[in-house]
Amino acid sequence: MENENVENVNEEVLIEGQDNNGIKISNDVVSVIAGVAVSEVPGVSGMAGGFAGGITEVLSGKKNLSKGIKVEVGEKETKIDVNIIVEYGTRIPDVAFEIQTRVKKAVETMTGLKVVAVNVHVQGVSTETPTEETQE
């Protein structure tokens, strides 16, 4: 997925099936579900979002759960790009595999959409160590 597909963020998708009764799920909902799943993975230091996402967090005072997540939703399937910063010392392939597994399971369980791809992009490594002041 390329960044030019990001403009579809506020579109909604109608999930077809027997029990949906015309339920529409926004791309934002899928990205928040994926963001929560990623935040629970050990070894992820943070999400790598754009400049606009950081400004939104500062101004609103709320944590942006979809920061660093790009979602492309089709009629019955979705592709998800995740941009992360890993903690120093963690094994990146293990962290990426765990992210793919958790995001796929969470999105498919909650939305009924088939996740065809979860692409993990490691944008950096956090080498921050807790200082004595923050440990107290």
Q: What is the CATH number of the domain that holds 42?
A: 3.30.70.1350
The bridge status of strand 69-73 relative to strand 77-87 is antiparallel
Q: Does a structural domain hold residue 107?
A: yes
Total domains, the chain: 1
Q: Which domain holds residue 82?
A: 13-126
Please check whether residue 4 lies inside any domain of the structure.
Answer: no
Domain-embedded: residue 116? yes
Tell me, yes or no, whether 41 lies in a domain: yes
In this structure, is residue 6 part of a structural domain? no
Q: Which residues pair with 85 in a beta bridge?
A: 46, 124
pLDDT reading at 34 higher than 90: yes
Q: How far is CA 11 from CA 6, 18, 28, 72, 122, in A?
A: 11, 22, 8, 10, 27
Domain presence at residue 136: no
Stretch (H or E) spanning 82 = strand 77-87
The average pLDDT across 109-113 equals: 91
Q: Name the token pair of 88.
A: 């120093």
Q: What is the mean pLDDT of residues 22-40?
A: 87
pLDDT band for 93, please (50, 70, 90 cuts): very high
pTM above threshold 0.85: no
The reported pLDDT for the residue numbered 96 is 95
Q: What is the pLDDT of residue 2?
A: 40
